[in-house]
Chain A
Amino acid sequence: MKQLKVDAIKNGTVIDHIQAGKGLIIADFLKTGRGNVMMIGMNLQSKSFGKKDIIKIENKTLTSIEMSSIALISPKATITKIKDFKIEGKKKVELQNEIESLIICPNPKCITNMDEVNSVFYVTQDENNVVRCKYCEKKYSVDEIKIRI
């Protein structure tokens, strides 16, 4: 029998195929310090990715905002819902073209940081995952931005 490196969960969500190294960033903003059991596997072997990270969270269903955030950080991640140790649904995260409210603009002179204006970012659909602020028009890589949770 295949030995699992990260324990199986009974109910909850598995975020798989996370780009190696991005697992901790995702774990950080999911803030499951609230009590849910979370397991993180890093640098696991993957047939199609070489190396990947994986996160398993017990008793948690991801919100659509959380899913977009994951898409932003690791566009090829997959989300699997688990019920009674069985896979209930599996899907790839999808990056929206326009992300509202989620991102905090790193530009201190941007109006979204001064007035009560919701941030809007446009996403360029390429490997680099660059986002551009609708208001100050500055471009940022995903590593440079902060996510509002």
Chain B
Amino acid sequence: MKNLISMRDLSKEEILYFMEIARKIENGEINPDMNRKVAALMFYEPSTRTHFSFATAMKKMSGQTITMRGSVNSSVSKGETFADTLQTIAQYADIIVIRTAVEGSARYASEIVDVPVVNAGDGANQHPTQALLDLYSIIKTQGTLENLTIGVAGDLKFGRTVHSLVQAMSDFNPKFKFISPSFLKMPSYIKDDLKEKNIEFEELEEIDKKIDELDILYVTRVQKERFADLEDYEKAKGSYTLKKSMLDNVKDNFKVMHPLPRVGEIQTDVDDTKYAYYFPQAKNGVFMRQAIISILLGGLDETIES
């Protein structure tokens, strides 16, 4: 595997291979060495967390990073094309991590440079490193990815994180509960895919309605800007805010996940319960990104069993 662009490109075996390498890195069984390797972190769109997570992953393996932020103060503002910028950066770096608002830009980047490219989010399209760290968090807490009941709450219409997650979980016979205000429902092209694959799903408007059936509740942010009327926002807010009092009868293995940052979708009193998993989830992101970088740059003894 040379690039990581979309979850669509990964087979079930490849997904599980990423899980295995992340686990071995976390346990200290393997210790990839990126000494003298440079990762270029090209962030055309700001993302503190994803940037920090990649930078930490690289530094933990004794590697170095160079960073480009936004298009201000860079050659982009001087009129250089995206392709030229990439080809130049590819002369300096061993691997390129790219984040943009333009959909398909990571795929395009992978076609024009020789070094591996990692998609760190391309607009509303894909965010595969987030999907893989989410899957890693699920397998760590549940012991398996198979046959789980997963609630996905928040902005299901525009949230690429949830789209990638649903797509990635589809190989593992899940049941989904989609919880959102009616105008932020899961898009029909994703629901059609699920129907094609005979995957069971249900659409709900209240977060606590079927919470006792869930193994995982994946909460995402609902942005105020999505609402035409702020009054509607205030009204709707209550129906997808997770509170401690809703957790009285949840399953013992139940975990709450969130890609962060949260803005009130999970009340802070949930943090002290054994069900809160969003901060460990962020930590898992570093192990997963170490795994991704070392798999793409090679140097691991392991190979994918075909």
Contacts and interface: CB of A to CB of B under 8 A. Distances in A.
A133 B104 contact: yes
B137 interface: no
A117 B103 CA distance: 12
Contacts of A37: none
A57 B104 CA distance: 39
Nearest to B101: A109
Contacts of A135: 103-105, 107-108
Interface residues of B, number: 18
A114 interface: yes
B123 A136 contact: yes
Contacts of A133: 104
B82 interface: yes
Contacts of A143: none
Contacts of B123: 109, 136
A137 B83 contact: no
B161 interface: no
A110 interface: yes
Interface in A82-138: 107, 109-112, 114-117, 133-138
A139 interface: yes
Nearest to B82: A115
A80 B84 CA distance: 47
Nearest to B188: A139
Which of A110, A112, A116, A136: most chain B Cβ within 10 A? Answer: A136
Interface string B119-134: 0001111100000000
A139 to B, nearest CB: 5
A111 B108 contact: yes
A105 B53 CA distance: 33
Contacts of A136: 103-104, 122-123, 125
Contacts of A111: 102-105, 107-108
Interface string B125-148: 110000000000000000000000
Interface in B84-123: 101-105, 107-108, 122-123
B276 to A, nearest CB: 33
B81 interface: yes
A114 B104 CA distance: 11
Given A107-B103, A136-B104, A115 B83 contact: yes
B36 interface: no
Given A115-B108, A117-B108, A137-B125, A110 B81 contact: no
Contact of A110 (B6, B83, B104, B126): B104
Nearest to B124: A109
Nearest to B190: A139
B189 interface: yes
Contact of A109 (B82, B83, B102, B108): B102
B8 interface: yes
B107 A109 contact: no
Contacts of B81: 115-116
Interface string B281-305: 0000000000000000000000000
Interface string B72-87: 0000000001110000
A103 to B, nearest CB: 14
A117 B108 CA distance: 8
Which of A111, A133, A136: most chain B Cβ within 10 A? Answer: A111
A56 to B, nearest CB: 38
A138 B81 CA distance: 24
Contacts of B108: 111, 115, 117, 135
A57 to B, nearest CB: 36
B189 A112 contact: no
Q: Which 3 A-B pairs have the closest CB atoms?
A: A135-B104, A136-B103, A111-B104
18 contacts: A107-B103, A109-B101, A109-B103, A109-B123, A110-B104, A111-B108, A115-B82, A115-B83, A115-B108, A116-B81, A134-B104, A135-B104, A135-B105, A135-B107, A136-B122, A137-B6, A138-B103, A139-B189
Given A111-B102, A111-B103, 11 more contacts: A109-B102, A109-B103, A110-B103, A116-B81, A117-B104, A133-B104, A135-B104, A135-B105, A137-B8, A138-B103, A138-B189
Interface of B: 6, 8, 81-83, 101-105, 107-108, 122-126, 189
